[in-house]
Structure 1
Amino acid sequence: MDAGNIYRFNVETLNGAQLNLAHYKNKVLLIVNTASQCGFTPQMSELVELKKQFEGQDFEILAFPSNDFGNQEPLEGEALGQFCERFDTNFPMLDKIHVRGPYAHPLYQFLSDKKQNGRVNASPRWNFHKYLIDRNGRVVDFFYPFTKPVSSRIRKKIAHLLTEKQLTAQ
């Protein structure tokens, strides 16, 4: 397996099941760290809207709740699931993790370190930091929290990646 992509990582779902990110092979992904008590939390609705805009295409959003910034994610497990129901989330909400610092989940260590991912040096500075992943599982861009999920910048990059020919070298 290519060390330059996300497919070697396992994450945990809200119900405790293990999920290997190879499950999302050949899909364009937007990976975002979320928090239920943040000023950016209204972006949850925009993430739902973004997912609808690309419905039926090989696009997915993966949301990772994190309490790393201002203790703005006090919820755990089932309470997180209930929170997501308020927004009618149409994308996977995964288990709460650390996204920065020495205890960061290995996926986030990879996403934020150019030495590991080959492209981006950008660890989350706050909640709703977004990473764009191409069909080959490679980090291609990132967006700071103030960039709204439905911004033309994000939508155009997703559309471009969805139409781009996939590399066959894996």
Structure 2
Amino acid sequence: MKEWLAADQWDVVTIQMASIKSHDIANYRPSASELRDYIKKFAPNSEIVVHQTWAYRVDDPRFTKPSEKPGEPATQEAMYTGLTSAYNTIARELGGLRIIPTGDAFTSQTTILNGASSRTLPSIQKPRSRANCPIRSTPCTWLAVEEGQGWQDHPGHGRSSREHRR
């Protein structure tokens, strides 16, 4: 990573927790502050931005066969609530870093297909993905944040593939 950071002038460097561990703030400590310091050492002029991950689909095995380990989310909603709290907390602790709210976009966006949302029709996405909604939400959310918009204001959100091609 040192070579990559030092190889160029970076405007933005993003950091993200592994999605399966993102619901628990303890997984971010102390690594997040150490990572921030490392990035600043080798890319001192870059802005560090936190990239929020998203809760898994309702039919993910994590929810259909929940773990008995304490603190593990048993539902999609519990995972989303935990990861949102953890990302907000760590961004604040690291000095008020901006967040790319991909998880918020995925959770809020509904894709209409046959009158049901993608969260209630787990078979919508092929190939199978842990994502709740169209993957295009991720780049649209990144672009909206970079342009200073709310993710929901970006024109790529909230349209089906058919509407997007019109």
TM-score (ref. length: structure 1): 0.31
Q: Name the structure where helix makes up a greater proportion of residues.
A: 2
Larger Rg: 2
TM-score (ref. length: structure 2): 0.32
Q: Name the structure where strand makes up a greater proportion of residues.
A: 1
